[in-house]
Amino acid sequence: MLEVKNLHVKIDGKEILKGINLKVNKGEIHAIMGPNGSGKSTLAQVLAGREEYEVTKGEVIYEGKNLLELSPEDRAREGLFLAFQYPVEIPGVSNTNLLKTALNEIRKARGEEEVDALEFLSLIKERMKLVELDQSLLSRSVNEGFSGGEKKRNEIFQMAVLEPKLAILDETDSGLDIDALRIVANGVNKLKSNDNSTIVVTHYQRLLNYIIPDFVHVLYNGKIVKSGGKDLASELEEKGYDWVKDPSNELVSN
Amino acid sequence: MSTTEVSTIEQLANREYKYGFVTEIETETFPKGLNEDIIRRLSAVKNEPEWMLEWRLKAFKHWLLMKEPHWSNVYYPPIDYQNISYYSAPKRKPKLNNLEEVDPELLNTFEKLGISLEEQKRLTGVAVDAVFDSVSVATTFKEKLLELGIIFCSITEAIQNHPDLVKKYIGSVVPYTDNFFASLNSAVFTDGSFAYIPKGVRCPMELSTYFRINAANTGQFERTLIIADEGSYVSYLEGCTAPMRDENQLHAAVVELIALDNAQIKYSTIQNWYAGDKEGKGGIYNFVTKRGACRGINSKISWTQVETGSAITWKYPSCILQGDNSIGEFYSVALTNNKQQADTGTKMIHMGKNTRSTIISKGISAGRSNNSYRGLVRILKKAENARNFSQCDSLLLGDKCGAHTFPYLEINNPSAQIEHEATTSKIGEDQIFYLNQRGISTENAIGLIVNGYCKQVFKELPMEFAVEAQKLLSISLEGSVG
């Protein structure tokens, strides 16, 4: 599905990612953890195609294609989805309108017909239930006046409608109370299949109690310094990030 | 904005004006120049009564004493008023009763514009009074409207058939002495629309006129007069497109609205005239005087405009709130691209008690264009408890365009409540990236964001017009943003 090889990324002349290697296979859930400023969000943004970041070295292969050559919209059309850490407000544009436009552009790129209005309506109504989102949010402007929790749930709702192959959840748990966390995780789990993959970027271990990862990677100072199974997350929680900062524990990234 | 966005945008900017074509119809055109003889000849061609000619001549004499104003924030080379032909009409039968009699070439033109009369008649139930250059060639639904006592015809016909109404109201809102361009219009107006809604009648359909400037070098001087008698209601739609031309064309229209007691007039405009090429060459100069008088108590006039065309737009649809409790509204989207210039806004003159006005202006500047909002809110001494709310937003696409806001407030009564909000924003890269990430192209993302920004105004438009406006905005924006 995705293979990141020796990825180096700069922003404003400063190197943030210093040689990331990561392989995500179909059907896998990977968690990327790390302290603030370690480069987690940068990785998510670079994979989604944000232009301010300059890739100085390395490559990213997604579904056999050179991901870095694709425009952000083409990546999305190829099935890559980013749930934003800070979802953007778009005044005057309803959620429904955004999703319909998005879905149709994705379909068009795949040579499929535009979605029928009734079919679309039943699709979004069904997917709303996954994240227990109130129907009134459909006609409201995208993220405008949404609470922090509603914004995050809305991201997962959009993901549910667009059905990506590779979803990257960037700090989707931040700002969520425990109930909302459970709802969001539930949604993600229901969308999981053997054909899609998920990268969960998070600071805390608590989301991983609900979304059980196959692999956990610890990002520190622009490098993956530790990789392991789901138990690594609990270990981290117990020992804190200082543990990975300790040079005696530093491992060569996989 | 990122480099790929800019290049998409630049590619699109090179698209040509979709409606730039010339219809070949024989036309009778006056020689260039303006003098008393031309006005007499014009009046004679139109079989006008003596009082109309006299009014025109008075306007002309007054105009000769006036100087062209230059206070607006727009720039253009001097206009030679003697180098304009003041009348041009399709030569064939000027009056037609049905579409079969209409020149097929003309029907083609309308079809190219996507507004074929047949379509209009069959599908929308909109009565269309099509002004082709200077003479109305087809008027539909007239009979149905007549049953209700509604008069909807060209102003030329109205002068002949309803002289009392015309005489009473023409120039009563925009006098022939009002301003340079209004005086010129009063002297040489060629045609336009007239509507009268009798007491207590709610006009069952949207009245609509599509203006189209056709013959080269012919200035268009439209005159529109709409009277809503006591307790009546009318919604009027004006939509425009014009063909491509090398020389600038002057358009100086006058629109007068009169709402009597408890009457309501809703006037909606979509203006999409040729804006000139990328360098701004060849576009229309749109110097228009639009004004409505809420003459009666509880009367209401709403202006809604979507301005995307013209090289230069200079207009201020205004309301004079004379009647107690009367309401004036102005909803505007003005989009400028390439080298377009717009200085537009409104005037709300509060005279009666408890009068209220709302101004929502959304300016969008792209390319190297310049977009100014200019608005006056004047509360006269006797206007107790007047209220105004103004919101003027500017959206900048790129860093080579300009947005300006010139609000004027003149408050002469301490009981007035005035609110003014103004914002200027740049289209957000974050917003575009967010939409890109959902699979939406930059072009469509900008379209969505801009349409969202204009939603407050679009919701004031009649349904079918709103759809058209959204499309138009997206078309106009293609290639605009940088």
pLDDT in tens, A96-120: 999 999 999 999 998 999 888 889 9
**Cα A167 to chain centroid, rounded:** 5
How many Å apart are CA B103 and CA B137, to the nearest integer?
9
Residue type, B302: S
pLDDT value for B419: 93
pLDDT value for B397: 85
**B2 contacts A76? CB cut-off 8 A:** no
pLDDT value for A235: 85
DSSP track, B188-218: H--B-EEEEE-TT-B-SS-EEEEEE--STTB
pLDDT tens per residue, range B154-212: 888 899 999 999 999 999 999 999 999 999 999 999 888 899 999 999 998 888 765 44
pLDDT value for B254: 95
Selecting from B437, B455, B456 the residue whose C-beta is nearest the C-beta of A72 gives B437
Per the CB < 8 A criterion, the answer to whether A49 and A77 are in contact is no
pLDDT at A216 over 70: yes
**B440 contacts A93? CB cut-off 8 A:** no
Query: Which residues from A are below 8 Å from B437, CB to CB?
Result: 48-49, 72-73, 75-76, 81-82, 84
H or E stretch covering B110: helix B104-112
Going by C-alpha positions, the residue among B106, B85, B84 that lies closest to residue B94 is B106
The whole-angstrom distance between A85's CA and the closest CA on chain B is 11
* A interface test, pick of B364, B432, B435, B473 with most A CB neighbours within 10 Å: B435
Check CB contact of B454 with chain A, cutoff 8 Å: yes
pTM (2 d.p.): 0.78
Query: Which residues from B are below 8 Å from A90, CB to CB?
Result: 431, 434-435, 448-449, 452
Backbone angles phi, psi at B129, to 5 degrees: -105, 100
* A interface test, pick of B1, B434, B456, B458 with most A CB neighbours within 10 Å: B434
State both tokens at A22: 């990561």
pLDDT value for B123: 33
Query: Which residues from A are below 8 Å from B439, CB to CB?
Result: 73, 76-77, 102-103, 105-106, 109, 162
CA distances from B377 to A247, B108, B348, B350 (A): 70, 45, 5, 8
Query: Which residues from B are below 8 Å from A106, CB to CB?
Result: 439
DSSP3 helix / strand / coil % (chain A, rounded to 5):
40, 30, 35
Residue B327 lies in a domain: yes
Selecting from B2, B440, B453 the residue whose C-beta is nearest the C-beta of A92 gives B453
pLDDT at B308 over 60: yes
Nearest chain A residue to B440 by CA: give it: A102
pLDDT at B29 over 80: no
pLDDT value for B212: 41
State both tokens at B199: 């007491």
Asked whether the CA dihedral B425, B430, B433, B438 is positive or negative, the reply is negative
Per the CB < 8 A criterion, the answer to whether B62 and B183 are in contact is yes
* Lowest mean pLDDT, pick from B93-107, B323-337, B374-388: B93-107
Percent share of chain B, pLDDT over 70: 76
Domain A2-249 has CATH 3.40.50.300: yes
Per the CB < 8 A criterion, the answer to whether B406 and B370 are in contact is no
| 3-class secondary-structure state, position B475 | helix
**pLDDT-derived band at B104, boundaries 50, 70, 90:** low
How many Å apart are CA B473 and CA B450, to the nearest integer?
8
How many Å apart are CA B328 and CA B321, to the nearest integer?
7
Residue B482 lies in a domain: no
Selecting from A73, A88, A92 the residue whose C-beta is nearest the C-beta of B440 gives A73
Q: Which B residues, 399 through 438, put their C-beta within 8 Å of a C-beta on chain A?
A: 428, 430-431, 433-438
What mean pLDDT is predicted for residues B320-330? Answer: 97
Question: Whole domain around residue B24: which residue ranges?
Answer: 3-477
pLDDT tens per residue, range A66-91: 999 999 999 999 999 999 999 999 98
pLDDT value for B107: 57
How many Å apart are CA A145 and CA B366, to the nearest integer?
28
Percent share of chain A, pLDDT over 70: 96
What pairing do the DSSP bridges indicate for beta strands A14-24 and A2-11? antiparallel
**B437 contacts A105? CB cut-off 8 A:** no
How many Å apart are CA B206 and CA B151, to the nearest integer?
13
pLDDT at B35 over 60: yes
pLDDT value for A131: 86
* A interface test, pick of B3, B391, B435, B438 with most A CB neighbours within 10 Å: B438
pLDDT tens per residue, range A179-197: 889 999 999 999 999 999 9
What mean pLDDT is predicted for residues B454-481? Answer: 75
Going by C-alpha positions, the residue among B388, B330, B390 that lies closest to residue B354 is B388
**pLDDT-derived band at B434, boundaries 50, 70, 90:** very high
CA max distance for chain A: 60
Selecting from B3, B430, B453 the residue whose C-beta is nearest the C-beta of A91 gives B453
Count of structural domains, chain B: 1
CA distances from B416 to A93, B318, B345, B359, B361 (A): 35, 19, 21, 16, 21
Per the CB < 8 A criterion, the answer to whether B469 and B461 are in contact is yes
The whole-angstrom distance between A47's CA and the closest CA on chain B is 11
* A interface test, pick of B433, B449, B451, B457 with most A CB neighbours within 10 Å: B433
**pLDDT-derived band at B69, boundaries 50, 70, 90:** confident
pLDDT value for B480: 57
How many Å apart are CA B207 and CA B212, to the nearest integer?
17
- Give the helix ranges, DSSP H, for B292-350: none
* B interface test, pick of A94, A95, A101 with most B CB neighbours within 10 Å: A101
Measure the CA dihedral A73/A76/A80/A85, to 10°. Answer: 70
The whole-angstrom distance between A78's CA and the closest CA on chain B is 9
pLDDT value for B13: 41
The whole-angstrom distance between A106's CA and the closest CA on chain B is 6
What mean pLDDT is predicted for residues B226-253? Answer: 78
Percent share of chain B, pLDDT over 90: 41
Residue B447: count of CB within 10 angstroms of its CB = 23
pLDDT at B469 over 90: no
What mean pLDDT is predicted for residues B121-133? Answer: 46
Query: Which residues from A are below 8 Å from B455, CB to CB?
Result: 91-92
State both tokens at A6: 């020796």
Backbone angles phi, psi at A191, to 5 degrees: -80, -15
pLDDT at B353 over 60: yes
pLDDT value for A137: 84
pLDDT at B215 over 70: no
Average pLDDT, chain B: 81
